[in-house]
Structure 1
Amino acid sequence: MLNWLLIFIPIAVFLEFTHGDPVWIFICSMLAILPLAGIMGKATEELAIRAGSTIGGLLNATFGNATELIIAFFALKAGKLEVVKASITGSILGNILLVLGLAVFLGGLKHKTQVFNAKNAGILTSLLTLSVLGLMIPAVFDLASVNFANVAQPADLDFRLSVAVAIVLILIYLGNVYFSLVTHKDILSAHDDEEHGAAKWSVPVAVGVLLASTVAVGFMSEFLVGSLEEASSALGLSEFFVGIILIPIIGNAAEHASAVMFAMKNKMDLAVTIAIGSTIQVALLVAPLLVLMGLAVGQRMDLVLHNPLELVAVVAGIVIANSIARDGETNWLEGMMLLGIYIILGFAFFYFPTVAAAAH
């Protein structure tokens, strides 16, 4: 349904090379990424069906957040480290509150009470809790080193700890993949056939489409990041707000739509797996990869979240995910509450820079 937005690819290219208005470059690039993310997801799914459950699961796990990783990489390369870190937090909150909230709300409007496997969801939320807590340790370390150890310049220590944490998180991610696809594959395999169906594309077509869409996302991401500063200023938005709200929505739109679609078909196990599984991938793979990519492009990115509002929001997200998974049932009111919390946080993130500026 979003494929008509592909028209914005040539428009964005034209505006970029004719030095058009940064606002329109930003908007057109953003709109072009939405269908490209969906096409990447479709191509990955087609390859996954052809490759079998284990390799297919690995493909889905690897490319699940590829669009967002590409956008974040170009922001990282441009030195917009706070935007990159905000996008990581935004992805975690977006998956838990927005995606799951929309799925539960719209699914609940169609089906009075929806049920899912509480045991499987509990395993996922346990992994989620451990992975996100691991991701937050550098922020706690920074706070402790400044306030308790009286370290005047903790930046170097923060960076070195973040690199170490990134390596450990990637190893945990590899363990999670092995757990999901080999030793405990029954947790997700019961829904594989229902989710994927039959392959419609040949392998060469799927590979070609995946490569082409990835390259296109790369160009659109570069245009998006290049126009970010001027466009956000002209639109009255902070770069922090763009990173924590807009970029995660753009990068995960296709995945968001899939979760909502499955919920409306009363397949809540899949909807919950998509929302929580994507969050785990952000914490265990996307965030640590960006730290290591920063080394490659000369950007010393750490995992420290200096904004206390982000820390509180992430902790609240973990608590909410665990509470939703506990009883194995959802209804539209729970979805409405999740969306309400996300909207409240959105307002808080929107006004936060203005308040900070006024304080100075």
Structure 2
Amino acid sequence: MAANFRSDFNKHGRTGNMSRANDQTDGPTDSERTPLVNNSSTNSSLGNMGTNGGKPLYEDDRAWVRYPSSFVHLTWLVLKSNYVNVLLVFVPAGIILGALDLNPTAVFVVNFLAIMPLAALLSFATEELSAKMGQTLGGLMNASFGNAVELIVSIVALMKGEIRIVQASMLGSILSNILLVLGCCFISSGIMREESRFNETVASTMSSLMAVAATSLIIPATLYSSLTDSSADTEANVLVLSRGTSIIMLVLYCLYLFFQLKSHKKLFDAEAQEGGEDEATILGPIPATVCLVLVTLLVAVCAEYLVDSIDAIVQEAGLSKTFIGLILLPIVGNAAEHVTAVVVAYKDKMDLAVGVAIGSSLQIALFVTPFLVMLGWAIGQPMTLNFEPFETVVFFLSVLVVNYLIQDGKSNYLEGCMCLGTYIIIAIAFYVKPEDASSKIGAAVSQFFSSQ
């Protein structure tokens, strides 16, 4: 995702102004973008916690004054870094509703809304920490935590044996990025200009890896179909294939990171290509680490209550687990990032937008999904790459569509509408598809695979 794209991507997407250059451009009259730290002895806003002889309290010589003031000051800076943080009020509400075991629908909705700002904070803390670690380690940090919310939700679901939720969530995250996000980016950029351009070499490399990821899902589905009438242990054989394939996919992902961060890093260095400046950070290494740990724990708690309420939602609302995992849960993990991607594309930063959208999908396909297969192996859960045939075909066709659209390195609003239309069709298909239709659809697709 794309690690190098993430750094410049988040810099352009923040609502607050975190760079000195932008502060000077906007001027002192813009209260939102005026630096919180100034020399005015009359300013006593929450941002600088008042003054003491012309010095902000968070710079006071007295430790008992400096540390609490610094904590409040940094908290304020972090909270105003993204407008989506207003939804943080749902975090304590979601935890309380879940702890008291109240209405499952309320628990699901409130925790659904709570995870959105937590995802934004997780991305923010990761960026702040990775900026202090150098390009290579910073890239690895971004690669590891770029889809942390999806990973945490899936781990919680996997430990509870909800393998269908895990598989649907992984596929939904990929489809959400390559169709919904990419389509919205093309539209956002296309309404302002006739045509937008991006690095076709980078896009081609990423789309090729996505084709490999699609193949890794088609092969287990094909094997499962071919062993249907066999006397062999179908589940055991597919499990072995899935685990072996996962190891190879993880190796490919490591090679992709080396390709991106070391051997061919100039191709991915969007910030250098655009003459960007280094990003000014808010949090130091220790505060960023503390923020990362706390937010991760909160996401885990909210995710557990969210997953626990899914069964009740299925019964009360009549939604299938596949629809919840494939459409709703990916919106939770990627909502803040989706909005920022559209803003970046609107500013004609298409290399960043395309790199983030497709790069996120690569992380899910080549890292998160294989990791969950290996984790299931470790904890005794039979997590496999044998997705339902209908889901596999949908994934393959989506990758095919996106590959055709980005191969020329150009985009316009019509191509964005194509991506968005495809995603809506898929969403409707999974909305109307009942859970008990899996066997019938599987049989039809199995016959297709067997005839090839």
> CA 1:101 to 1:79, structure 2 compared with 1: closer, same or farther past 3 Å?
same
The code of the aligned residue for 1:12 comes to G
Determine if the alignment matches structure 1 residue 71 to structure 2 residue 161: no
2:327 equivalent among 231, 245, 254: 245
User: What is the alpha-carbon distance in structure 2 between the residues aligned to residue 348 and residue 214 of structure 1?
Assistant: 33
Determine if the alignment matches structure 1 residue 310 to structure 2 residue 371: no
User: What is the alpha-carbon distance in structure 1 between the residues aligned to residue 99 and residue 326 of structure 2?
Assistant: 28
2:257 equivalent among 170, 174, 177: 177
User: What is the alpha-carbon distance in structure 2 between the residues aligned to residue 84 and residue 71 of structure 1?
Assistant: 8
1:34/1:253 contact within 8 Å kept: yes
Partner SS state of residue 132, structure 2: helix
Deviations for 1:137-188, whole angstroms, at most 9, x for unmatched residues? 21122122226xx246411111111111111111111111111111111121
Shift of 1:44: 0.7
> CA 1:229 to 1:254, structure 2 compared with 1: closer, same or farther past 3 Å?
same
Q: Which residue of 1 aligns with 2:171?
A: 89
Determine if the alignment matches structure 1 residue 159 to structure 2 residue 239: yes
Unaligned runs of 5+ in 2: 1-82, 442-452
Deviations for 1:38-94, whole angstroms, at most 9, x for unmatched residues? 000011111122212211111111111111000011111111111111111111111
User: What is the alpha-carbon distance in structure 2 between the residues aligned to residue 331 and residue 152 of structure 1?
Assistant: 51
Task: Please report the TM-score for the alignment, with normalisation by the length of structure 2.
Answer: 0.76
2:126/2:141 contact within 8 Å kept: yes
Determine if the alignment matches structure 1 residue 207 to structure 2 residue 278: no
Q: Which residue of 2 aligns with 1:334?
A: 415
Determine if the alignment matches structure 1 residue 42 to structure 2 residue 124: yes
User: What is the alpha-carbon distance in structure 2 between the residues aligned to residue 354 and residue 222 of structure 1?
Assistant: 23
> CA 1:169 to 1:321, structure 2 compared with 1: closer, same or farther past 3 Å?
same
Determine if the alignment matches structure 1 residue 128 to structure 2 residue 210: yes
1:108 equivalent among 187, 190, 197: 190
Deviations for 1:91-113, whole angstroms, at most 9, x for unmatched residues? 11111111101111122112321
Please provide the CA RMSD for this pair.
2.0
Shift of 1:200: 2.0
Determine if the alignment matches structure 1 residue 32 to structure 2 residue 114: yes
1:49/1:196 contact within 8 Å kept: no
Q: How many residue pairs align between the two structures?
A: 357
Unaligned runs of 5+ in 1: none
1:45/1:196 contact within 8 Å kept: no
Shift of 1:190: 3.2
The code of the aligned residue for 2:150 comes to E
Task: Please report the TM-score for the alignment, with normalisation by the length of structure 1.
Answer: 0.94
> CA 1:51 to 1:351, structure 2 compared with 1: closer, same or farther past 3 Å?
same
User: What is the alpha-carbon distance in structure 2 between the residues aligned to residue 80 and residue 176 of structure 1?
Assistant: 30
User: What is the alpha-carbon distance in structure 1 between the residues aligned to residue 372 and residue 410 of structure 2?
Assistant: 36
> CA 1:20 to 1:260, structure 2 compared with 1: closer, same or farther past 3 Å?
same
The code of the aligned residue for 2:336 comes to A
Shift of 1:257: 2.3
Determine if the alignment matches structure 1 residue 10 to structure 2 residue 66: no
Shift of 1:354: 6.4
User: What is the alpha-carbon distance in structure 2 between the residues aligned to residue 57 and residue 144 of structure 1?
Assistant: 41
1:233 equivalent among 307, 315, 329: 315
Partner SS state of residue 19, structure 1: coil
Partner SS state of residue 229, structure 1: helix
User: What is the alpha-carbon distance in structure 2 between the residues aligned to residue 316 and residue 85 of structure 1?
Assistant: 18
Determine if the alignment matches structure 1 residue 188 to structure 2 residue 268: yes
Shift of 1:23: 0.5
The code of the aligned residue for 1:185 comes to K
Shift of 1:191: 2.5
The code of the aligned residue for 1:281 comes to Q
Q: Which residue of 2 aligns with 1:58?
A: 140
Determine if the alignment matches structure 1 residue 319 to structure 2 residue 416: no
Shift of 1:195: 9.0
User: What is the alpha-carbon distance in structure 1 between the residues aligned to residue 197 and residue 338 of structure 2?
Assistant: 20
Q: Which 10-residue stretch deviates more, 322-331 or 347-356? A: 347-356
2:94/2:107 contact within 8 Å kept: yes
> CA 1:57 to 1:196, structure 2 compared with 1: closer, same or farther past 3 Å?
farther
Shift of 1:359: 7.4
2:156/2:304 contact within 8 Å kept: yes
1:92/1:279 contact within 8 Å kept: yes
Partner SS state of residue 309, structure 2: helix
Q: Which residue of 1 aligns with 2:180?
A: 98
The code of the aligned residue for 1:202 comes to G
Q: Which 10-residue stretch deviates more, 312-321 or 339-348? A: 312-321
> CA 1:116 to 1:236, structure 2 compared with 1: closer, same or farther past 3 Å?
same
Partner SS state of residue 243, structure 1: helix
> CA 1:303 to 1:12, structure 2 compared with 1: closer, same or farther past 3 Å?
same
Q: Which residue of 2 aligns with 1:168?
A: 248
Identical pairs, percent: 40
The code of the aligned residue for 1:356 comes to A
Q: Which residue of 2 aligns with 1:288?
A: 370
Partner SS state of residue 191, structure 1: helix
